[in-house]
Structure 1
Amino acid sequence: MTADDRQMVASTVVSVLRREKRSKRWLAQATGIAYSTLRRKLQAQSDLTVNDLARIARALEVSPASLLPAPGPTGEVAGEVAGE
């Protein structure tokens, strides 16, 4: 996951939290992710794992795919390099 991808995913999760009027502490408790770890991940300081995204999506009652960057017109996700 690139830094740009990390920032986009983190921003999306924070936006959903705001929309649902939920806190990061609530999300930490609902997912079982330590608050300090979750805070770092939502500040885009470290990667969210697939497991993290699944747990977050389940807690927020959204699709995990809705938390990911949308693919571009060529099918690439932001930050990907063609052919890699």
Structure 2
Amino acid sequence: MPGCRELPGTDFDGRPTDDIDDVIHDAFESSRHLTRVPGLVALMNDPGTPEIERLLACAVLTTWGEAAGYEAVVSAAANPKKAPW
């Protein structure tokens, strides 16, 4: 599975991009981002993934309006000492 940085760091045509924001915002114009959601959820919930990658996955998911991202934010807010980042 690609790392978190590869998921938003590659445009929807498979080309690497330096601007993750472009990829995140392109999702609002196309549903192609949905294929990346399961991978981002898996990375966000994987304790073996570096903390910064888990946080980035959560940020992408919440920006895309995905429930798993919001659930992670609520969980972290309820118990910040156990937040994965």
The interval holding the TM-score normalised by the smaller chain is 0.3 to 0.5
**TM-score of the pair, normalised by structure 1:** 0.32
Q: Which has the higher contact order (CA 8 A, sep 6+)?
A: 1
**TM-score of the pair, normalised by structure 2:** 0.32
